[in-house]
Structure formats: structure tokens, C-alpha cells
Amino acid sequence: MRDQPKPVLRARGIDKFFAGAIALDKVDLTLYPGEVHALLGENGAGKSTLIKSLTGAYHRDGGTIELDGTEINPRGPVESQKHGIGTVYQEVNLLENMSVSDNLFLGWQPVKRGMLDHRQMHRRTREILKGYGLDIDPTQLLSSYSIAIQQVVAIARAVELSGKVLILDEPTASLDREEIELVFSVVRNLTARGMAVVFITHFLDQVFEISDRATVLRNGCVVGTRKLSDVSQGDIVELMLGHHLEATKRKASHASPGDTILSLKGYGKRGMIAPFDLELRKGEVVGLAGLLGSGRTETCKVIFGVVSADHGRAELRGQPIRLNSPRIALEKRFGLCPEDRKTDGIVGDLSVRENIILSLQARQGWTRPLKRSRINQIVDEYVKALDIRLASPNMPIRLLSGGNQQKALLARWLATEPDILILDEPTRGIDVGAHAEIISLIERLREQGMALIVASSEMEELVAYSSRVLVLRDRRQVRELGGEEITTERIVKSISQGESAA
């Protein structure tokens, strides 16, 4: 690259129109062998559209693509894979109800005498995944592993199938630090072998950690391609947004929280989360920290009644209650923004408007529909307050970007005026701008006296807004940190040492 080698992929003047409007406007992208090229931009800037147009998942409306100097016109991911361009999308696109090795080898299974050679398939799966530091049983269903492991399997599959260009669309969104390291070392390995990697992410730290160059998109246009050694994070953010962003800092004032609203004693569910105690007071944020699979999500689910607890007692404002369904939780003014936005959160084909009022309407019952004017008022209010960017509240929510979907889900629960709001990974997979907005929203809600439980894998974030942090490990609570103790170092230490509960 330094000596201007021949580009492996050169896309020129890529155009893409949606419903007659311009989504990509003459976008150029050049990839050199052995480089990691970050593709940056806010949600809705056109990153995914560009990728899909390159791989033929979308039919592009203009422009040329050259691979190794020859023009190619892939008509879909399979064809582009044959050319040597592999893609791993933001959401894992594998078959959860098939085994790990089936997923890895689907479409190119080893065959022996006309029959699938399962033994060879399993053996090679083991070998390949070992290269990624995974030692898992290839015969198990993919769904029995965490999203993180599924993501790694997806990457492994793409790498095995392609060979020239690997496109990673938000590969690290659902991975914790250790697993990110794993992916990065794999990426470095691949670039050392001369592969070009396109890296799409919202984490600027990671961009600077691994990438050589970055192309920044805004509103479907390329606003610049930079060598990362020449620029700072601030420069890139300014390119993306046009204005500088404040770094999130821990708010000093976590002044005296109010009365206890929810009290859980010895609360737990066999096989999901060991019994734990929790005192939740008005006007405080309880952070849940821990690695993936440590029990953060399970804690949220048990409290919200998605699964009913089989141990312990719950008291709401001193009154014993049984929380065994989301419906009851909704009635008691709880709210939950789930971790997996796509499968547990949004109702994709319903409009943004309907998604926002869904829970409020569910609580009112179907016989008492919300008045049109009230719906409009609620939707307008939250679209404005949370800065949800959309063309119209009537558009299906699935068309919104991740950050805006998350904001709409927050709006859904805020519309029910909850006393207790549980947020499971509220900032996963969303862009820098929305990220900061959600964090400041959490602050605001706390100041207004709401009680929040927030699970997150981002330590800095927890440090920023938590009044207390519960540290989880192996599906049990191991430590509660408060006040001055809440620092990234202490949380990391608690997770790794697994101190017994204070």
C-alpha cells in the first residue's frame, strides 16, 4: 500500500436510489491488499447500503466495480463470495437451528462417496474455529451458543468462503473486550496474508486500533478518505457529524436517592440466575456489569417477569407482588428495553407511531383505543424529545437505523410513564451521536426521580451514569460497588476476581 500497489477492489461512482430518492451518490471506494479500511458515518449515512450494493444484495443503479482490475457484476452475496468478497452482516445471518458445522459448511459441505462427510465436517470445523480461539462442539445447535460465538462462526464462514475482501459490518457490536481482541487478531492475520478488510463500526477506538485508512460517508456521499495515522479521533468525528462531541464524564451529583420502590430478596430462577438481593430506590440508576453470559440479561428478564422467579420475594413499595408476566410488570409501571432489539423489541412491520404507543395501548386494553390526537401528541413529543430521525411516523420501524429504533423503544416505555425502567444494553449497535443522547437521557430520567436498572457491557458507560453497580459473574451477583468505588478499574477487577458479594 505504501508503494501504491494495485488496488484489489475499486468501486467508482456507485449510485443507489430507493423509491426514486438518492441513497448513494457517486460513491468511490478503493481497497488495497493488506489494509483494514474503516467505513464510517452516522446511522443512515449509507454504509450498509454501500456494502449491499457492492456485494449485489442490492441492485446498484450506477457505477462500476473492479476486482483485481476486472470489472465484476455480482448479482448477490453468493456470486460476490465466488469472486472472493465475503461479508458478515451486523445481525448474525446464520441458521440457528442447525449445528455449528452445518452453518460453517452450508453450501460447500465435504462429500464422500456422494454422502455428506459429517466426521470430516466436524473435524475441520473444530480446526477452523481453533484458529479463532474457540473450542466448541461443532455438532451442537448454533443457537445453544452466545451471539458472540455465533458472530465468530459467521466471520469464520465468510473468511473460508472468500479470500480477497472481507467486509465486517459491525462485527464487534455484540462482543466483549476479550472477544474483540480475538477478532482483531484474526483480522491482523488475514491482512498479513494480503486480504483487504472493510470494517464498519461505531467504536472509534477500535477504528484507530486496527484500521489503516477510513472513508467517511455522510448523507450518501463520501466526505473524505483519510489515512488514520494522519488524523485524530476528533477530526473523524467532525467529518461524520460536522460538530465536536463531548466525551461522557461521570456526573458528580448522585445526590441522595429517594424511597425504596422495589425490593427483591433471594430472588432468582434455577438455571438462569442465582438468588440475589436488590434494593431499588427512586432517582437512582443501578448498573449491571459483567461479561457476556454473566447473567445481566437474565437478571433483567427475571425482574420484568419474562421468566418467573422460583426463589425469593418481591415487594413493590412495601407491598408483596408476584411478577410473573410482562403484562403484570406493565401494569405495575415497569418497563424493559430488551437486549436483542430486532427479535425482542421492535415489531418491524408496524409503524414507528404504533411501536411507540404499543405498550400504552396494551395497558389500556384493546377496547379502549387511544385517541388519534393523543397518539399524535405522544408520538410528536417523544420524536422531538429523543430526536428520533424519521421521514414520517407512519413508516415501518424496521426501516429506521439501529439508534433510532432504540430511541423509539425507549419512547414506547417512556410513554407508559414507568416508575422502574430496565434497559438491557441500551447503546448496543448504535452510532456515536445517539449513544451520547441515550446516556444523557438516562441521566435526565434519573434526575426526574425514575428508578433505572441498566445492563451494559461498556464499563465507561456504566461509570458515567450508575449510582451503584452490581457486578455479575457466572450468573450470580458477586459484588456491589457504590460511590467512589465506581471506576472502570474496580469493575474490571471485580469481574475478573469474582469477589464474593459485599
Partner 1 sequence: MIGATFRRVLPQLIILCVVLLLNFAVFPGFFHIEFQNGRLFGNLIDVLNRGAPVALLSIGMTLVIATKGIDLSVGAVMAIAGAVAASVVTGGGGWFTALIAALLAGLAAGLWNGVLVAFFRVQPIVATLVLMVAGRGVAQLITEGKIMTFLNEGLIHLGAGTILGIPTPIVIWLAMGTLVTLVVRRTALGMLIEAIGINETASRLAGINSRVLLVTVYLVSGFVAALAGVIVAADIKGADANNAGLWMELDAILAVVIGGNSLLGGRFSIVASLLGALIIQSVNSVILLSGMPPEFNLVIKALIIIVILVIQSPTVKHRLYLLRAKASSTVSDAPDVAPKAQLAKETRS
Which 7-26 residues touch partner 1, going by CB under 8 A? 17-24
Minimum distance of partner 1 from residue 500's CB (angstroms):
33
Judged by beta carbon, residue 354 or residue 461, the one nearer partner 1 is: 354
Of positions 412, 446, 475, 476, contacts partner 1 by CB under 8 A: 412
> CB of 239: closest distance to partner 1 in angstroms?
16
259 Cβ neighbours under 8 A, 6+ residues apart? 281, 282, 317
Helix (H) or strand (E) holding 396: none
Distance CA 61, CA 159 (A): 28
Give whichever of 125 and 351 is closer to partner 1, judged by the CB atom.
351
**Least CB distance from residue 459 to partner 1, whole Å?**
27
Judged by CB under 8 A, the stretch of 41-49, 179-187, 456-464, 482-490 that binds partner 1 is 41-49
Shortest spacing between CB 328 and partner 1, in angstroms: 9
Find how far residue 428's CA is from the centre of its chain.
Answer: 3
Fill in the DSSP letter of residue 453: E
Long-range contacts of 246-249 (CB under 8 A, 24+ apart): 246/436, 248/436, 248/439, 248/460, 248/461, 248/464, 249/464
Phi, psi of 88, rounded to the nearest 5 degrees: -120, 120
Regarding 44 and contact with partner 1 (CB under 8 A), the answer is yes
**Residue 126 near partner 1 by CB under 8 A:** no
| Min separation Cβ 31 and partner 1, Å | 19
User: According to CB under 8 A, which one of 34, 133, 312, 326 is a site residue for partner 1?
Assistant: 326
Q: Which of 80, 401, 456, 457 binds partner 1 (CB under 8 A)?
A: 401
- Give me the amino acid identity at 168: L
Q: How far is the CB of 35 from partner 1 (least distance, A)?
A: 22
Answer yes or no whether residue 380 interacts with partner 1 by CB under 8 A.
no
Using CB under 8 A as the binding rule, whether residue 46 contacts partner 1 is answered as yes
Candidates 330, 414, 445, 481; binder of partner 1 (CB under 8 A) is: 330
Is 384 among the residues that bind partner 1 (CB under 8 A)?
no
Q: 322 vs 55, 259, 273, 356, CA distance in Å?
A: 51, 21, 17, 27
Residues 200-229 that bind partner 1 (CB under 8 A): 219-220
Spatial neighbors of 469 by CB under 8 A, at least 6 apart, are 286, 287, 288, 289, 462, 463, 480, 481, 482, 486, 491
As measured in angstroms, the least distance from the Cβ of 23 to partner 1 is 5
357 vs 491, beta carbon nearer partner 1: 357
Q: Where does this chain touch partner 1 (CB under 8 A) — which range of 117-125, 221-229, 284-292, 392-400?
A: 392-400
Binding mask 270-309 for partner 1 (x = CB under 8 A): ----------------------------------x-x---
Helix, strand, coil shares, percent, the chain, to 5: 35, 25, 35
In the bound state with partner 1, the residue whose beta carbon lies nearer, of 16 and 468, is 16
End-to-end CA gap in the chain: 54
CA 287, CA 269: separation in Å to the nearest integer? 20
**Whole-number Å distance between alpha carbons of 381 and 373:** 12
- Using the contact rule CB under 8 A, the part of the chain among 208-216, 283-291, 400-408, 465-473 near partner 1 is 400-408
Q: Which of 133, 194, 224, 348 is close enough to bind partner 1 by CB under 8 A?
A: 348
Out of 136, 363, 381, 385, the only residue in the binding site for partner 1 (CB under 8 A) is 363
What gap in Å lies between CA 88 and CA 94, rounded to an integer?
10
Q: Which is nearer to partner 1, 322 or 327 (CB)?
A: 327
Residue 306 CA to residue 325 CA, distance in Å, equals 6
Beta bridge partners of residue 287, listed in sequence order? 454, 469
Nearest approach, Cβ of residue 5 and partner 1 (Å): 30
Q: What is residue 232's three-state secondary structure?
A: coil
Q: Cα separation of 275 and 459, whole Å?
A: 24
The Cα–Cα gap between 385 and 356 comes to 13
Q: Smallest gap, in angstroms, from Cβ of residue 408 to partner 1? A: 12
For the segment 306-325, give every residue that binds partner 1 (CB under 8 A).
306
Phi-psi region of 110 (alpha: psi -120 to 50; beta: other; left: phi over 0): beta
For partner 1, the binding residue among 343, 377, 496, 497 (CB under 8 A) is 343
Angstrom distance (rounded) from CA 56 to CA 74: 5
Binding residue count for partner 1, defined by CB under 8 A: 59
Q: According to CB under 8 A, which one of 113, 368, 371, 384 is a site residue for partner 1?
A: 368
- Judged on CB neighbours under 10 Å (0-12, 13-18, 19+), 231 is middle
Which of 41, 426 has the CB closer to partner 1? 41
Which of 70, 392, 448, 500 contacts partner 1 by CB under 8 A? 392
Task: Please give the residue ranges that form the binding site for partner 1 (CB under 8 A).
Answer: 17-24, 41-49, 219-220, 304, 306, 326-327, 329-331, 336, 338, 343-350, 354, 358-359, 361-370, 389-392, 395, 399-401, 404, 412
